[in-house]
Amino acid sequence: MIDNSDTELLAIRKALGDNCRILICHWHILRAWRKQSMEKVFAKDGVRKTVAEIKAHRQEGLQGMIKMMMAGTKADYELCYLDFSSWCLDFDDEWDPSDLLVYFDCEYSNKKEKWSNTWRHQNLNIDTNNYIESWHHTFKESYLSTLKKQHVDVLVYILWDLVLRDVMEDHIKTTNHFQSIVMNASEKKRQRIAYRLSEQEA
């Protein structure tokens, strides 16, 4: 599971071939969609709208994309896409969200198998890579911060002799209730987001 990065996608394909299944993180997609809906959904020049009206209209566009993300079948996805494209193109004299459709078609339509629930099966309800990114940050800060040279043999030693031992020790303590799971504020926030995504999916 990766962010929506074409560079990463191509590198994985080059290294592992077409049989490697690639998913795109829902959390990163939603963050990008929220940003783009704010930048690409607006009232036409000369039309005055309240902040609440603009926010509500942008939310409509965002919800249109989320429906495609949560679609359960190909027919549902196609219907949601038609609704979204109609919403973007059948604009009136007050709104012009057509740039949002252009953005969506360029960045996401050709990758729908990697992010829409229609094609997203057997992923154990894991829809975000935030947990692994959090662990990677902890790994760099806690185990690699004092290293001047990060050779492969040193990294293997750290992973095998230090990280694995610590992870197993924490696992044993947690499963036997010797300690509770401790998360920092950032990890708690990511957990809440991950749970919300799973609830939306259900």
Closest Cα to residue 61, out of 39, 45, 92, 46? 39
- Three-state secondary-structure class, residue 24: strand
pTM above 0.75, yes or no: no
For residues 104 and 4, the answer to whether their CB atoms sit within 8 Å is no
**Model pLDDT for residues 42-97, shown as the tens digit of each residue:** 898 888 999 999 999 999 999 999 999 999 999 999 999 999 999 998 867 789 89
Q: How confident is the model at residue 144 (pLDDT cuts 50, 70, 90)?
A: confident
The most distant pair of C-alpha atoms in the chain lies apart, rounded to whole Å, by: 66
Domain parsing of the chain, residue ranges: 6-115, 130-201
